[in-house]
Amino acid sequence: MRPDFTPADVTGIVGNPIYAINIAPVLARPHPALISEEEWIAANVKLIEDLGPEAYFRNLLSILKGNYPTVP
């Protein structure tokens, strides 16, 4: 993990589906996936186990609202 990333930053990055898929074109520009859908699913299953379902879904909603960490 980068030393400037907090645990919350990592949670926000791991939970963000934009790193695995292209979002509908009306919502985001096309881009190359950084990880496969299978890797994203596996990482998020682990995140659900670590955070619990309620915190996971609150994090996902926050990401979908555009509240995600920025990389300096």
Taking the alpha carbons of 33, 72, 2, 67 in that order, is the dihedral positive or negative?
negative
Please say whether the beta carbons of 59 and 15 come within 8 A: yes
Per-residue pLDDT of the chain (72 residues; tens, 9 = 90+): 567 778 877 777 778 877 777 777 777 788 888 889 999 999 999 999 999 999 988 888 888 887 765 544
Three state DSSP letters for 4-17: CCCHHHHHHHHHCH
- Tokens matching residue 9: 């930053």
Give the end-to-end CA distance of the chain in Å, rounded to a whole number. 14
Using a 10 angstrom Cβ sphere, with 0-12 exposed, 13-18 middle and 19 or more buried, the burial of residue 48 is middle
